[in-house]
Amino acid sequence: MPERLAVRKTYKLFIGGAFPRSESGRSYAVTDAKGRFVANASQASRKDARDAVTAARKAFPGWSGRTAYNRGQILYRVAEMLEGRRDQFADEVRRAGASKSGAAAEVDAAIDRWVWYAGWADKLSAVAGASNPVSGPFFNFSTPEPAGVVAVIAPDSPLLGLVSVVAPVIVSGNTCVAVASEPSPLPSITLAEVLATSDLPGGVVNVLTGRRSEIAPWLASHMDVNGIDLTGAPGDDVPDLEGQAAENLKRVLRPRDDTWTDEPGTARLTAFLETKTVWHPVGL
């Protein structure tokens, strides 16, 4: 038998539930921790970012309109599929520089964190909302609602970092445009393959690979983006991105000392929520 040639994988973008190449035709080389070539990944352009925002906006009404319980079911289904491809993810994380045991631990943590956020889907409203005491013959309720389209600059942890910043955004009904780790984007696109074959509607999560310094400013200044998470943005870029986001009063989640590496809490769940208060007369 002749020696067979391995089928090299082409890593593309993930926009609107599909896997297009960058409209610019560009790609960049991804190397492992020892500098050896692994694959080429698409290098997203400004137009790719605009297309991702359009896809996220189109998906927002349907996703936010689903019941919280249903969103939790869909996120849990993603965790099930992550579990089924555990070895593949561990191999990709290991190529990014983790040890064999470290890679396995990161994949397990990413699965567990996805499940943790999925469990919050139908509990968030009770925790973040309230029935307010008022003086008068009225009921007064405050309920959390998703802000809309959220851009996320993911940290360089190739899998756990992306899960930690994307899952809390979408579980509440927001849709997302995520800029993957620049040096280690491959697990992010493999995660996109899981999302594409799960029950998650197209456009709820869109994943761009490429130069953060090129993509992030366009997302920060985009008038149809309602919030931006700067967790993975280089520190020197944060002030400029905050200034661009202020042009249309986006919600901005800044990098903090208690970052995504901490045990998950409710801070990320509530970062991109708006509170709606409703007054209703008693007896009507």
Work out the percent of the chain whose per-residue pLDDT is above 90.
Answer: 73
CATH number of 27-281: 3.40.605.10
What pLDDT score does 179 carry?
Answer: 97
**Residue 257 confidence class, pLDDT cut points 50, 70, 90:** low
Give the pLDDT confidence of 186-216 residue by residue, as tens digits.
999 999 999 999 999 999 999 999 999 999 9
What pLDDT score does 57 carry?
Answer: 98
* Domain locations along the chain: 27-281
What pLDDT score does 153 carry?
Answer: 96
> What does the mean pLDDT of the chain come to?
91
Rounded to an integer, the average pLDDT of 26-35 is 90
Helix (H, G, I), strand (E, B) or coil at 212: helix
**Alpha-carbon dihedral sign for residues 42, 268, 233, 35:** negative
How many Cα atoms within 13 Å fall on the side-chain side of residue 79?
Answer: 20
What pLDDT score does 157 carry?
Answer: 87
Q: What whole-number distance in Å separates Cα of residue 188 and Cα of residue 184?
A: 8
Q: What whole-number distance in Å separates Cα of residue 73 and Cα of residue 80?
A: 11
| Widest CA span in the chain | 86
**Residue 175 confidence class, pLDDT cut points 50, 70, 90:** very high
What is the β-pairing status of strands 175-179 and 149-153?
parallel
Structure tokens at 208: 């761009």
Secondary structure letter of residue 199 according to DSSP: S
Give the pLDDT confidence of 226-247 residue by residue, as tens digits.
999 999 998 899 999 999 999 8
What pLDDT score does 5 carry?
Answer: 78
Cβ-based burial of 186 (10 A; exposed 0-12, middle 13-18, buried ≥19): buried
H-type helices in 120-159, by residue range?
124-128
Greater model confidence, 130 or 281:
281
Rounded to an integer, the average pLDDT of 96-114 is 93
Distances (CA, A) of 4 to 8, 11, 36: 12, 22, 22
72: pLDDT strictly greater than 80:
yes
What pLDDT score does 279 carry?
Answer: 77
What pLDDT score does 283 carry?
Answer: 67
